[in-house]
Structure 1
Amino acid sequence: MRCRWANPSGEAGTVTAELATVLPAVVLVLGCCLGAVQVIGQQVRLTDAAADAARALARGDSTERVAALVAAQVPGAHVSAHPNGEFLCATVQAASGFGPFSAWGLRLEASSCALAGGL
């Protein structure tokens, strides 16, 4: 008696071969998605650091103190300040922290402004 699930056409193992072919692509896509989430997290930290830097500059803190504040939040970040009317604005830039995106030269940037002389 033959098993009704037997494959009479001799294609045994094709599902295994297809899985072995597709699995590296699935792992690559999953890795890129997780890397993108990491880059988004870094962008959120840059935005928060830019807001803190703008408020500190508006209070009159020194640029060295503001640079130290930003470096504590996002290692390797560079901060620049510029006036915009009655506001002081801070721009924070950093290279991507995720390897492949960093290798491609992806730089992240965030800006924020605060009312000059504010508390």
Structure 2
Amino acid sequence: MIFLSMLRLMVHDGFSLTDATPYRHLVSGLQYLSLTCPDISFTVKKLSQFMHSPSKTHCQALKRLLHYLKCTISFGPHLCRHPSHHLYAFFDADWAGDRDDRKSKTGYVVYLGGNLIS
């Protein structure tokens, strides 16, 4: 993923912004967007850790996230009209499938008609 550099952001990264209000407004707005775009949830969470004192480095990371969103605005699930209104759900798990720590992985999908909803 393109946001792997988010792992290296620190509290005292570069010069502090003179006015942090625009940074705070953008990051708080992105928290709501991460509900419908789960691919940005980690990045938004990481950026929100610096709301009290954002730096120029944090602002650059926020700009990269906004650029990513601009380029992927047409991506996502496409809803289509379907004659069926049946609800289908599928679930899978591998119980203790990881050989190192014996953690389980689970996943699910839910369809309404032919549209993926969760």
Superposition TM-score tier, normalisation by shorter sequence: under 0.3
Structure with the higher strand share, 1 or 2: 1
* More contact order relative to length (CA 8 Å, sep ≥ 6): 1
State TM-score, norm by structure 1. 0.24
Structure with the higher helix share, 1 or 2: 1
Which one has the largest radius of gyration?
A: 1
